[in-house]
Amino acid sequence: MNFYSYRLMVRPQEQNYILRCRKLYHQYIVDMYVKIETERLNFIRFNQAKLRSEQYIHLQDAIANDANINDIGRLTILPSSYIGSPRNMNEYAQDAMCYVRKYGRPDLFIKFTCNPQWDDIKNNLFAGQSTTDRHDITARVFRQKCKAIMDLIEKLYVFGEVRCHMYSIEWQKRGLAHAHILIWLVHKVTPDQIDNLISAEIPNHTADPELFQVVVKNMIHGPCGELNMNSPCMIDEKCSKRYPRQFTSGTITGNDGYPLYRRRSPNDNGKTATIRMHNQEVEVDNRWVVPYCPLLSKIFNAHINVEYCNSVKSIKYICKYVNKGSDMAIFGVADENRYDEITQYQMSRYISSNEAVWRIMSFPMHERYPAVVHVAVHLENDQRVYFNVANLLEIAAQPPATTLTAFFKLCETDTFAITLLYSEVPQYYTWNVSPKKFQRRKQGTAVHGHPGIFQTDAIGRIYTVHPNNVECFYLRLLLVNVNGPKSFQELRTVNGHLCETYREACQLLHLLKDEAHCDSTIHDASIWAHPQQIRMLFAVILSTCMPSNPLELWNKYKHNIAEDILIRMRHHARNPDLLITLEMYNEALIIIEDRCLRIANKTLVQLGMTVPNRDMHDLFDRELQREQEFNSNDLRLFVQSNITKMNIQQKHVYDTIMQAISNNAELQKP
């Protein structure tokens, strides 16, 4: 079967045959991509022996001992260069935070969804085909639409001059593709400008009938709730998207990342519309409108949700799509001596036919501007090396250059470089891979007072270091605060005194005053990390860094640490407005204490924290809650109506149990 010329040649009445053909076609697409991906992963797997990785100092030790390299390095790794791998997704999320660090919060969040009813798609179908029969056409058209909307935003300044942007493509199971876009503007959007850019109201049918049709068709949520209890957004009989929203006479900026947009009621000159749902007509008002930009909606005739970002926390929304894994659950008996990242990646994959086509055509999953340049951080002789049996001795004798060691050499010869921080170097210098050294940029904006120096928008990102890696963590802290060091020794030298450790150097430079590094570490994590990750980080800091005032850190970030527990209890209580309670904080403390016991075998009391109430943990036992959720009167009536139906053995068991309960006695085993 030819993938690009696939066509259904059946009579219209043969509906079952058509459905079977479509299912086979979708499976054919997925199988095609799975084979492609398997071949790529097999290349990485079968070249592990040729491309082994280990830190340089560990390689030196092995050569000094017995020249045995069989047990050096990771057995099977999936590198970050493989698009879609966990390492790749984590790096992309970290890169996103570089924009926040340099430019602050994003101004706009846009969700652009493919519309299968576009004329560009329908006009290219063969007779008898639907859009579900030609995912290749859908992917090509949506790719062009994504480029078009980005050109409108970047080149035609529909929202103003753009400073930087990033977007990622995502699929929701069998749904069509949609892009999540973050926009940073040169001139920030002020609250009084929101209504000029974003609307959450049904337009006037008489004044703009084209926009009215687009909004009614694409930007009305649901309806759900009492109008449609089977809507996909309904969880525990409540809308997970919190529709219908409340009427608001004017836009109000909140503190949770997004404002409350103007949604006027029909009594306040708000408009209504009639839509058809389940063969009946339903009247909707502004409470059901998803926020949109009128200009973009008219141009693209699609679902384009536009939101004003009022907080840096909104970047979590796009990052969670990049970092989330598959819904697949697996289990098995694993070999503890074997660590295989490729197998773990393959076993956790979910691929829809839409995503398979997109990847087969090599369309980008993520795009951004400006570029983020990664610069290494490592201790002396601790850089990562790539080696095989043939070049082992050569690499061990001469450690390879990294961006960090090249930065030290650059500062020795370049007078401008000594004025820069390590992370600022990529703005003025390019990294030449072949000679492994930095070279001055030849294009960009000329730097005043420094002939031959040009500046670009490139952003340097120093790789993050876990606080558990103590010395490397403090080395990184020095690199982000000390300009133009020429060596590792110079980094440890403060006022002519060569410190024994990087921690001592940080203390002499007052970089550790009032445990500021712990606070800043948790603060950064609270912006981009998930609550589970924040709890793990907090436990590591308590166990290894010994902060002087851990209770102050807990009280400052306890809401971020227990945020997922609050969300879980909201779903369980079927109350989206439920506020966080002491019981939820207590649950988070229990989880943290369990991790501290595993890391350092110490309780929270020993680490300067309060004692969690473990008896309160039963309140969060789902099985216990489920068993307790019954109506005693209904249960009593059920027993009374069915007790006469028991046989002799069942009646004997029932009487024995009830007698033991009445006497508060323990049942005796037969």
For 110-168, write each residue's pLDDT tens digit.
999 999 999 999 999 888 888 888 888 999 999 999 999 999 999 999 999 999 998 88
pLDDT score for 53: 60
Least reliable range by pLDDT among 53-62, 212-221, 574-583: 53-62
As a whole number of angstroms, the distance between CA 13 and CA 29 comes to: 26
pLDDT score for 420: 95
Longest pairwise C-alpha distance within the chain = 101
Average pLDDT rounded to a whole number, residues 520-536: 84
Degrees to nearest 5, angle at CA 602 with 596 and 607: 85
pLDDT score for 429: 96
As a whole number of angstroms, the distance between CA 608 and CA 596 comes to: 12
What HEC string does 283-324 produce? EECHHHECCECHHHHHHHCCCEEEEECCCHHHHHHHHHHHHC
Residue written as token pair 């040729």: 50
Residue 196 structure tokens: 């000029």
Q: Pick 78 or 500 by higher pLDDT.
A: 500
Residue written as token pair 């926390």: 313
Average pLDDT rounded to a whole number, residues 155-183: 87
pLDDT score for 343: 82
Confidence tier at 19 by pLDDT (50, 70, 90) = low
513 within 8 A of 481, measured Cβ to Cβ? no
| 556: pLDDT strictly greater than 70 | yes
For 430-443, write each residue's pLDDT tens digit.
999 888 999 999 99
Closest CA to 353 of 118, 135, 179: 135
| 15: pLDDT strictly greater than 70 | no
pLDDT score for 644: 85
As a whole number of angstroms, the distance between CA 166 and CA 179 comes to: 10
Residue-level length of the chain: 670
Q: What are phi and psi of 59, to 5 degrees?
A: -65, -40
Residue 516 structure tokens: 């500021």
pLDDT score for 9: 44
For 188-234, write each residue's pLDDT tens digit.
888 889 999 999 999 999 999 999 999 999 999 988 888 888 888 88
As a whole number of angstroms, the distance between CA 418 and CA 429 comes to: 13
* Percent of the chain residues past pLDDT 70, beyond the cut: 82
Confidence tier at 242 by pLDDT (50, 70, 90) = confident
* Percent of the chain residues past pLDDT 90, beyond the cut: 34
Q: Is the pTM for the entire model greater than 0.85?
A: no
DSSP reduced 3-state for 29: helix
pLDDT score for 317: 57
113 within 8 A of 304, measured Cβ to Cβ? yes
As a whole number of angstroms, the distance between CA 183 and CA 164 comes to: 6
Sign of the torsion formed by the C-alpha atoms of 34, 36, 39 and 40:
negative
pLDDT score for 444: 92
pLDDT score for 670: 44
Q: Cis before residue 370, ω within 30 degrees of 0?
A: yes
Mean pLDDT of the chain: 82
Average pLDDT rounded to a whole number, residues 90-114: 85
pLDDT score for 224: 87
| 394: pLDDT strictly greater than 70 | yes
pLDDT score for 68: 52
Q: What are phi and psi of 251, to 5 degrees?
A: -70, 135
As a whole number of angstroms, the distance between CA 188 and CA 197 comes to: 13
pLDDT score for 580: 86
DSSP reduced 3-state for 55: strand
| 315: pLDDT strictly greater than 70 | no
Confidence tier at 6 by pLDDT (50, 70, 90) = very low
Residue 501 structure tokens: 């450790």
Q: 366-369 and 162-171: which strand pairing? A: antiparallel
Residue written as token pair 């309806």: 223
Closest CA to 302 of 312, 310, 293: 293
Q: Pick 459 or 48 by higher pLDDT.
A: 459
For 615-627, write each residue's pLDDT tens digit.
766 555 554 455 5
Residue 15 structure tokens: 């509906």
pLDDT score for 327: 45
Helix (H) or strand (E) holding 44: helix 15-46
Residue type present at position 159: F
Which phi-psi region, left, alpha or beta, contains residue 651 (left: φ > 0; alpha: ψ -120 to 50)?
Answer: alpha
Q: How far is CA 97 from CA 315, 524, 618, 629, in A?
A: 8, 9, 38, 44
As a whole number of angstroms, the distance between CA 112 and CA 168 comes to: 11
Bridge partner residues of 340 (DSSP): 76
Residue type present at position 110: I
pLDDT score for 655: 87
Confidence tier at 86 by pLDDT (50, 70, 90) = confident
What are the residues whose beta carbons fall under 8 Å from the beta carbon of 484, sequence distance 6 or more?
411, 417, 418, 419, 420
| 64: pLDDT strictly greater than 70 | no
Average pLDDT rounded to a whole number, residues 97-113: 87
Residue type present at position 343: T
- Terminal-residue alpha carbon distance, the chain: 67
DSSP reduced 3-state for 386: strand
What are the residues whose beta carbons fall under 8 Å from the beta carbon of 83, sequence distance 6 or more?
365
Average pLDDT rounded to a whole number, residues 267-277: 90
Residue type present at position 212: F
Residue written as token pair 């059920």: 638
| 642: pLDDT strictly greater than 90 | no
538 within 8 A of 547, measured Cβ to Cβ? no
49 within 8 A of 11, measured Cβ to Cβ? no
Report CA Rg, the chain: 30
Closest CA to 428 of 416, 436, 437, 413: 416
Q: Pick 311 or 309 by higher pLDDT.
A: 309
| 81: pLDDT strictly greater than 90 | no
What are the residues whose beta carbons fall under 8 Å from the beta carbon of 178, sequence distance 6 or more?
111, 112, 113, 114, 169, 170, 171, 172, 303
Closest CA to 529 of 384, 385, 315: 315
Degrees to nearest 5, angle at CA 399 with 465 and 409: 75
Degrees to nearest 5, angle at CA 222 with 220 and 223: 95
| 470: pLDDT strictly greater than 50 | yes
Degrees to nearest 5, angle at CA 16 with 10 and 20: 80
